[in-house]
Amino acid sequence: MRIEVGNPRTDSSPVKPFPSFFLALWFASALPSPGADLPFQSQNPPAMQPIASRDTPAYRAARKFLRGVNLGDYLEAGPDWAIRVSAEDIRQIKAQGFDHIRVPVGWHRYSSPAPEFQLSREIFGKVDFVVTNALAHGLAVLINIHHFREFDADPAGSADQLVAIWRQVAEHYKDSPETLAFEVLNEPHDKATTAVMNDIYPRVISEIRKSNPSRTLFVEPGNWGNIPELQNLVLPPDDNVIVSVHCYDPFHFTHQGTSWGGPDVKVTGFRFPGPPETPLTIATNVQAAPWVHDRVKQYNTQPAGNNPVSATAFREKLRQARAWSDHYGRPVHIGEFGCYYKVDAESRTRYYEQFRKTAEELGIGWAIWDWSANFRYWDREKQQPLPGMREALFGQPSNP
Ligand code: BGC
């Protein structure tokens, strides 16, 4: 597939926390926790100061970011794997029932060298196209900085560039409607730990606030926006900040067969939810680590309520996010969840439906990854949603 060529999550690039760290998290999250309904307890002082009010600008804004879609593999992608997006796509996004678009942007690839880090007119033109069309359709828009690998590798050395980019982007959009929001950085990871970001976020936020005193901002915790990292986040007392997290659990289901998911997603054939009617066997030409064999065994044998390929894999994490949010008075948002388009279609739609329903039961806004690329909702050839996707996300038939 053209859009897979050059995807940054290849073997030579960093991947999501996988396998060791991710494995540990996955094991933990796959088991029902007796503390699931307990309120959030800070484990990592000095903890962030809670905000008592639930009528803050952030909470009001969060109501406009409830059902979203990522324009993935577009403005953050290289020219050889980027998809095309037209005004008709944006009209369709609105017509399908989404209320917001998250637009990943590779601003850093359009910036001149230090110390100016001047952004090109070309990238502003591209982002303006999406922002203008989305706002015209009544969609809220979230623009971010995506795949800023140099930053993740060296946050201290790249912080000036991050601040300079946001100074220009914020200045450019300062008169835009309030339904345009900025997300400071996609999936901080590697050296960009939550603790490191706790020092850098206030710097960027105060820079943006010079031109956009009341713009809604989104930030993510480290380790790829991973929910357990929320407990390490310490934000300034700004009351217009929404905290966004990413969740692709169960990863072996959502990323099975992807070229960028790491060496342990080579086993394919997981269906959602487990256990399967016919046990999954690992193909003889796939070299799987011992724990992957163990995982397949659990998938084949564990009952539905406790199966690693089921809502059990994400429900507890989403509850944790809710509990953290309630404790600190910061709304949370799921900026990415989704499943590879080559996965068995019925399993895929069941997964999207259960994830979406779980998030909504917990009152958390979500944005699927993605519109029409590798985790697609939309069939570009047929100009309609993939079968079952509209029902999964909106409870409505695809062709009303
Ligand atoms: C990345 C995409 C990837 C997706 C699913 C996103 O965060 O930007 O490149 O396809 O996650 O792994």
Residue with the smallest CA separation from ligand 1 atom 3 is: 9
For residue 76, the ligand 1 atom closest to its alpha carbon is 8
Cβ of residue 9 lying under 6 Å from some atom of ligand 1: yes
CA distance 144 to 100: 14
Q: How far is the CA of 282 from the centre of ligand 1 (A)?
A: 25
Q: pLDDT-derived band of residue 9, with 50, 70 and 90 as boundaries?
A: very low
The length of the chain is 400
Domain-located, residue 351: yes
Domain-located, residue 371: yes
pLDDT of residue 37: 56
Average pLDDT of 5-33? Answer: 36
Q: How far is the CA of 126 from the centre of ligand 1 (A)?
A: 20
Cβ of residue 369 lying under 6 Å from some atom of ligand 1: yes
Lowest mean pLDDT among 24-38, 267-281, 309-323: 24-38
CA-CA-CA-CA torsion sign (106, 108, 111, 117): positive
Domain-located, residue 4: no
Residues 109-146 as b/e (b if ≥16 CB within 10 A, e otherwise) read ebbeeeeebebeeebbebbeebbebbbebebbbbbbbb
Cis amide leading into 276 (omega within 30)? no
Average pLDDT of 354-368? Answer: 98
Average pLDDT of 339-356? Answer: 98
CA distance 281 to 283: 6
CA distance 233 to 195: 7
Domain-located, residue 202: yes
Total structural domains in the chain? 1
Residues 6+ apart with CB under 8 A from 354: 272, 273, 311
Q: pLDDT-derived band of residue 331, with 50, 70 and 90 as boundaries?
A: very high
Kindly state the tokens that stand for 183.
């997300």
Q: How far is the CA of 128 from the centre of ligand 1 (A)?
A: 23
Residue 318: alpha-carbon gap to chain centroid: 13
- Asked if pLDDT for residue 33 goes beyond 70, the answer is no
Instruction: Ligand 1 pocket test: pick from 83, 256, 336, 342 the residue with the most ligand atoms within 8 Å of its Cβ.
Output: 336
The long-range contacts involving 90-95, CB below 8 angstroms and separated by at least 24 positions, are: 90/130, 90/133, 90/134, 90/137, 90/139, 91/133, 91/137, 92/378, 92/383, 93/69, 93/134, 93/137, 93/139, 93/371, 94/137, 94/138, 94/139
Instruction: Ligand 1 pocket test: pick from 369, 372, 376, 377 the residue with the most ligand atoms within 8 Å of its Cβ.
Output: 369
Quote the domain boundaries for residue 148. Answer: 19-262+314-391
Q: What is the CATH number of the domain that holds 24?
A: 3.20.20.80
Q: How far is the CA of 245 from the centre of ligand 1 (A)?
A: 13
What percent of the chain stands above pLDDT 70? 88
CA distance 122 to 83: 17
Domain-located, residue 305: no
Q: How far is the CA of 370 from the centre of ligand 1 (A)?
A: 9
Q: pLDDT-derived band of residue 11, with 50, 70 and 90 as boundaries?
A: very low
Domain-located, residue 291: no
377-388, pLDDT tens digit by residue?
999 999 999 999
How many other C-beta atoms can be found within 10 angstroms of the C-beta atom of residue 207? Answer: 17
Cβ pair 362, 319 in contact under 8 A: yes
Q: How far is the CA of 255 from the centre of ligand 1 (A)?
A: 10
For residue 373, the ligand 1 atom closest to its alpha carbon is 10
Q: pLDDT-derived band of residue 262, with 50, 70 and 90 as boundaries?
A: confident
Cβ of residue 336 lying under 6 Å from some atom of ligand 1: yes
- Asked if pLDDT for residue 5 goes beyond 90, the answer is no
Characterise 260 by phi-psi region: left (phi > 0), alpha (psi -120 to 50), beta (else).
Answer: alpha
Q: How far is the CA of 210 from the centre of ligand 1 (A)?
A: 32
Domain-located, residue 14: no
**118 secondary structure, DSSP code:** P
For residue 340, the ligand 1 atom closest to its alpha carbon is 5
Domain-located, residue 3: no
Q: How far is the CA of 15 from the centre of ligand 1 (A)?
A: 9
For residue 9, the ligand 1 atom closest to its alpha carbon is 9
Q: How far is the CA of 107 from the centre of ligand 1 (A)?
A: 17
Q: pLDDT-derived band of residue 14, with 50, 70 and 90 as boundaries?
A: very low
Cβ of residue 374 lying under 6 Å from some atom of ligand 1: yes
